[in-house]
Structure 1
Amino acid sequence: MVASSAPGRAAEPTLFGAERRVGVLLPLPLPEPYDYRVPPGMDLAPGDVVAVPLGPRQLAGVVWSHGSGAVDGAKLKPVAHRFDVPPMTEDQRRFIDWVASYTMTPPGQVLRMAISVPAALEPPRPLLAYAAKPDAEPPPGFKMTPQRRRILEIVADGPPRGAADLAEAAACGTGVVRALAEAGMLEPVLLPPTPIGAPDWHRPGPDLSPAQAAAAAALKERLAAGAYATLLLDGVTGSGKTEVYFEAIAAALAAGKQVLVLLPEIALSAQWLERFARRFGAPPAEWHSDLTGAARRDTWRAVADGRARVVVGARSALFLPYRELGLIIVDEEHDGAYKQEEGAIYHARDMAVARAHIGGFPIVLVSATPSLETQVNADSHRYLRVHLPGRHGGAELPDVRLIDLRQDRPPARHWLAPTLRKALAETLAAGEQAMLFLNRRGYAPLTLCRACGHRLQCPNCTAWLVEHRLARKLQCHHCGYSAPMENKCPNCFEEGTMAACGPGVERVAEEVAELFPDARTAIMASDTLFGPRAIQEMVRKVADHELDLLIGTQVMAKGHHFPMLTLVGVVDADLGLAGGDLRAGERTYQLLHQVAGRAGRGERPGVVYLQTYMPEHPVMQALAAGDRDGFYALEAEQRLEAAMPPFGRLAALIVSGEDEGAVDRVAYALGRAAPRSDTVAVLGPAPAPLALLRGRHRRRLLLKAPRGVAVQPLVADWLGRVEVPSSVRVQVDVDPYSFL
């Protein structure tokens, strides 16, 4: 298909070189565009999405530039055709180049995230639906089963519907629908593609408190300025930050702009989507990994042609082809889920700031516990801080109390201290709700043999297998390997000697059932809830008080509002502090602060108990005292003394491969070739904490430099000095967040 025109093409000049060649960037790990010949009668401009031959196959790519001229024009292959989609904007092309340069990723690999749905490049197909066919009689021998009669009743009372919708409504398979159509009992009709809801910014929002109204006015003032600015919406949990930035979304829509809202996890979206629909009368477009292929195709196309005015999604939503993007919201901006660790390694929050800067529009970072990087930028006035100091509606922050497990010990082979047990009993007796938090899925993190000491380990990773007793399996949480639970030791073959060590949420639930057999309890973890609908149903049950006690992981720690939940107990508050990670204290504080924030959000006051063996630790002391700013000041002082981020720069090299010897040879060669000076140091090579991951051996090197040093040229020169065989991969992680 050759398109004669495409929406928005007038924005870019047509490319006419002497040989009519263009550089086309392909969605492959390629460092630069490939030259192609423009056939007669085809006009192309930067940003046009085209199909081009590459070897025996044909790929979609984007016209990036004039041709380089490096290849003889007679040898160039022609562009096959141009897709009838709006061209990629100059801002987005600049953004892709910037991300590639900053993360040291080939531009084609970054482009792959932007044209991730090849099916969306073709015109949307009409939807085949089925309508009632008046006076239709079943043909001879055609049996009218109850399911077939039910489908006919459904179409008789409503508009045409697709086969999948009819089958779901009638609780049958789509084959039943097709059989009715083939028998002439249904009328096939073609419907236009599914429309995208249009949020109505005219709809009035809820009454805002004076503090909320002032914060909303500050955001709208920056929007009206029509220029880049990064704002930190800094408010305690329950302060109504979402309603404040909804006002900014309404202002952006009124100005004719598209809006992107980034959420760290799809688990946070259930209540958020309901609130958005109530405020704007229609849901936003969604973008995340749980979407069907058809939904991804429709959403990508709607974003590209401007029909999707508000998009809410995970980090990859940042690379969608927005035509009129004018505002980005990054909710829970501190969350580690914004860091992409595979493929193109990037931090979505930082890349979103760059996207707003390139586009010349505001971005709002939202958090009750901002990252230290964001705190420092706000303190130095690079970012504008908009503060919400109190909870909305007069609710008080919960009282945080420490349980010293050295003194207040749980009974043997149990995990809840007497003080927490008593608080749970009193809360349930009062008809209120409670939550127990443990950031560890499954029943037990380790299973060992009492006879020989053998520990069950993943064959593909340096990790123990986690027992999931409800599913009766052992699983690796890093690569997904699973094995059935066995009563016999695989090492010494003794029967009945395998023992579970340590607690997971399933084991805590077992203890709760023993203590409170009449309590209505549920486990909320990523491996017990599959998809947004399951999470939404769980949230509804808690909100409607169909559950008394919720036991779960970080899936339930943030973003949810439960008015009757007055008690939160953290089973192991020390869990995130082990391992010596640079950000261990910061991350633990943020997570536990968010967990604590679930308590007392309604009219009844809340209390939080943190079980810890280290009550004197600065994280525990800051949480108990409610001294967030004091904790951040201490954390900043320690980072500054060590010249660590955000007061220094880091870049990591991760060397991996299936052959351990080859990995070591490359790692040591990189160590010998490492750049060193009075200001730049390189640590390693050393085995990664996960020295074996998914069957690949891993070694790490870490470059440390002052804040003002551009680490990318140093790393590029460093890599250029070492020959890396094809069996070994070297990944670059600029500004690493994880050191596993």
Structure 2
Amino acid sequence: MSRVRLLVFNPVLSVLDYRVPPGVDVQLGNVVIAPLGPRQVLGIVWEPDRLDGTEVPESKLRPLLEVLPVPPIAEPLRRLIEWTADYYCAPLNSVARMMLGSMAALRGGGTTTEYRLSGLEPARLTPQRAAALDALQGEQASIRELAELASVSEGVLRGMVNAGILEPVTVDLDRAYPRAQPDHAQPELSEEQQAAADQFIAAVGAGKFQTFLLDGVTGSGKTECYFEAIAAAIRDRKQVLVMLPEIALTENFLRRFEARFGVPPVLWHSSLKQSERRRAWRAIVSGEAQVVVGARSALFMPFKRLGLIVVDEAHEVSFKQDDGVRYNARDVAVIRARFEAIPVILASATPALESLQLAEAGVYQKIDLPSRFGGATLPHIEVVDLRKDEPARQHWLAPSLVKALEDRLARGEQSLLFLNRRGYAPLTLCRHCGYRFQCPNCSAWLVEHRLSRRLACHHCGHASEVPEACPECHTPDCLVACGPGVERIADEVSSLFPEARIAIATSDTLNSPEKIADFVARAEGGAIDVIVGTQLVTKGYHFPELTLVGVIDADMGLEGGDLRAAERTYQQIAQVAGRAGRGVKPGEVLIQTRHPEAAVIAALAAGDRDAFYAAEAEARRDAGAPPFGRWAAIIVSSEDEAEARAAARQIGGARPDLPDVMILGPAPAPLSLLRGRYRYRLLINARRSAQLQDIIRQWLGALAFPQGVRVAVDIDPYSFV
């Protein structure tokens, strides 16, 4: 090629043409460095006819500067990037950026220097150095990463290096990962499990696109089934991607994987330190990484020999990205498998309604595991009507749940109390003047966290100390916590049962792999009597001695801006109920509610999932909601409220008048101020026959907005907040 068209990573210019210097070999998919004005820009060599661009005369083309030493991005991944950008109305280069590691990874391997505590006892300790010593025990990373971990400046750590308190360590960036052994510890499978595993193994061997929906009750051994498919892929020298919705699930999965294959898999998620990200990315590109386990961002990694994709807990809303490129990793995983011509397994105990409808239509192949493994039985579920079995004033545990907790403590068994609300209380106000603590950056109340003694916004991260007096009327000792969070429930349990060993399991308390591992070890070792947790503990964990689950507020999920509230509530409660009775002892689930007649609660109590999904499908069909219709949202935001409102009205005024499309709004978003930006929303409801993305592109493409206005499109939204 004498000239190439690049997809470049520049926010303004995304497609540019360049000249190939004599003697330089360039292929489609090569990652290159090119000049752009006085600067340099990263780009990917793309098919010229697939990118819109102006044909520039040969004489005006500038030459490429460098072809980076990484394999070309393969055609299936380039097609996936195009599909994702087209379907989700996102810039092509924003999607492509997700597949690239750091610049250092693109440049090559080699070595880097990290630092760790040397063990030297310092003669003199400043408060900052003392804090760093406490925070960095057992840690090894770059100076920048250690500074973030210890919450001190890089200068403090460099001073510790000079004093010999921190020592340098040379790290090989391309050191090999240990090899997984497909026959390391082959399990004994039930007849149902073996039948499922055989179908997966055959699909891996055939090397054709096929989508499986593995629908198994909690504790049925879904993981063991797809582990056999992973083993088959390893034997065939193919790479495997396993996607998990939460980093918090990774630790438990790693232990199970290592027990089966002898070594841990390769990890890919945002919490990895930079040297590990570089190492993992290069191993994925070279084909050395056999099995990669990661969050949704792992989906766009440039695998060399991808042979299988597994999406575990495939119903989880965490697979939907809510900013940037607003894609659903579950759905894009299926599309990647189609482009790669490989099988994909969607595993869940509570599949999404969309997945069930595709299985019913024959698009997905549904495989059922209706029984728990090893003779364990599903827990008995009972509804607690809070209107009749009412907790004491300023308490949230009904007498029947308190009695069930008492019984488990007496028998030495474990209990789990579930409330999907972090902190101590969702609202703090002044009893004297009624002042309410609100986030200065968001239209949301500050949540009190008593463990860390702060008021925090769960949307933007703003935090402040809990004041001694009301900021409005200056009355001391007048602040009142309203409503419960998990910390308040833990306090109530502690006051009722002072001898109970209680653990709070939320993203605040389990915010690192080490803390998660410690929590799992203590729970499995019987060092915890009562776990009080959020949705973080509703899936993936297996504690054989856990025989009681109490759902504190089953009605909470039915409120707010969740467009799939009923389905989400059913999935969440069914998943947390599945933590009970996974060993030989039977389990019990108590669901506290003020609306026992609600369809979701009635279906949970009756254990009749099919009836719930049938009713939910009928309601969605009547409303033209997914999967029978299409949804999209347009979110307009600006730091200037008048500017955001004017832009939203401009969009609303230019709306197309089409028979198969209904457009609602604009209206202020329920969370009308988020991270300092005022927000307006429009919701689009379209029939499946409508060319929704083309309609939105033509509609918005004809409009111009002030520089401070952002207009985002969310295809298939999960939230209307």
Would you call these one fold, judging by a TM-score over 0.5?
A: yes
The separation in 1 between residues aligned to 2:120 and 2:650, in whole angstroms, is: 72
With 691-700 and 34-43 compared, the bigger mean Cα shift is at 34-43
Give the drift of 1:545. 0.5
Q: CA RMSD in A?
A: 2.5
**Higher gyration radius (CA):** 1
Map of 2:15 onto structure 1: 33
Instruction: Please state whether the residue corresponding to 1:244 is helix, strand or coil.
Output: helix
Partner of 2:29: 47
* CA distance in 1: counterparts of 2:226 and 2:39, whole angstroms: 46
| 2:343 maps to 1:362 | yes
Q: Measure how far apart 1:223 and its partner are.
A: 2.1
Name whichever of 196-205 and 295-304 sits farther off: 196-205
Cα pair 1:524 1:552 within 8 Å, conserved: yes
Q: Indicate whether 1:21 and 2:33 are aligned.
A: no
Q: Answer whether contact 2:437 2:446 (CA < 8 A) is retained.
A: yes
Letter in 2 for 1:86: P
CA–CA distance in 1 between the matches of 2:594 and 2:219? Answer: 29
Question: Which residue in 1 is equivalent to 2:38?
Answer: 56
Match of 1:114, SS?
Answer: coil
Render the CA deviation track for 1:673-730: whole Å, top value 9, x for unaligned: 1112222110000111101000100000111111122211100111023221211010
Deviations 1:330-372 (A, max 9, x none): 0000100000111111000011111011111111000000001
Contact 1:129/1:162 (<8 A) preserved: no
Q: Which amino acid aligns with 1:344?
A: V
User: Secondary structure, in 3 states, of the residue corresponding to 2:681?
Assistant: strand
Counterparts of residues 56-455 of structure 1 (less than 5 Å): 56-66=38-48, 70-126=55-111, 193-455=174-436
Give secondary structure in 2 for the equivalent of 1:522.
Answer: strand
**AA of the residue aligned to 1:577:** L
Partners in 1 of 2:561 and 2:487 — Cα distance? 27
* SS of structure 1 residue aligned to 2:307: strand
- The match for 1:683 among 658, 661, 664 is 664
Give the counterpart letter for 2:91 in structure 1: P
Task: Write the mapping of 1:556-567 to structure 2, written as runs, cut at 5 A.
Answer: 556-567=537-548
Secondary structure at the aligned position of 1:496 is classed as coil
Corresponding residue for residue 519 of structure 1: 500
CA-CA distance at 1:174 after TM superposition:
9.8
1:485 correspondence with 2:470: no
Q: Measure how far apart 1:145 and its partner are.
A: 6.6
Contact 2:173 2:275 in 1 (8 A): no
Any idea what the Cα deviations from partners look like across 1:199-238, whole Å, max 9, x if unmatched? Answer: 1123341100111001111212222322111100000000
Whether the aligned pair in 1 keeps the contact of 2:120 and 2:165 (CA below 8 Å) is no
Residues 347/145 of structure 1: CA separation in 2 closer, same or farther (3 Å cut): closer
Give distance in 1, aligned partners of 2:638 and 2:114.
50
In the alignment, which of 578, 591, 605 is matched to residue 597 of structure 1? 578
Residue 529 of structure 1, aligned match among 510, 529, 535: 510
CA distance in 1 between partners of 2:462 and 2:66 (Å): 44
* C-alpha contact (below 8 Å) 2:567/2:616 kept by paired residues: yes
Pick aligned residue for 1:708 from 686, 689, 693? 689
Residues 138-186 of structure 1, C-alpha deviations (whole Å, 9 max, x = no match): xxxxxx97799xxxxxxxxxxxx99879xx9xxxx9999988899xxx9
Residue number in structure 1 paired with 2:150? none
Quick check: 1:329–1:365 contact (8 Å CA) kept in 2? yes
Task: State the SS of the aligned residue for 2:700.
Answer: helix
Q: TM-score, normalised by structure 2?
A: 0.92
| Distance (whole Å) between structure 2 residues aligned to residue 464 and residue 176 of structure 1 | 41
Partner SS for 1:346: coil
Describe the SS at the equivalent of 1:427. Answer: helix
- 2:83 maps to a residue whose letter is W
> 5+ unaligned residues in a row in structure 1: which ranges?
1-15, 131-143, 149-160
The corresponding residue for 2:559 is 578
TM-score (norm 1): 0.89
SS in 1 for 2:47: strand
Question: Cα deviation per residue 1:514-546 (whole Å; 9 max; x = unaligned)?
Answer: 111111111111111221221111011101101
CA distance in 1, matches of 2:456, 2:121: 43
Against the structure 1 CA distance between its residues 484 and 145, is the aligned structure 2 distance closer, same or farther, given a 3 Å change threshold? closer
1:624 matches 2:605: yes
**543, 561, 569: which is aligned to 2:550?**
569
Give the Å deviation of 1:129.
10
Whether contact under 8 Å (2:212, 2:344) holds in the other structure is yes
Deviations 1:553-605 (A, max 9, x none): 11111100000000011111111011363300000000000000000000000
Distance 1:513 1:202 in 2: 47
* Contact in 1 for aligned 2:538/2:579 (Cα 8 Å): yes
**Residue of structure 2 equivalent to 1:737:** 718
Alpha carbons 1:163, 1:177 under 8 Å: kept: no
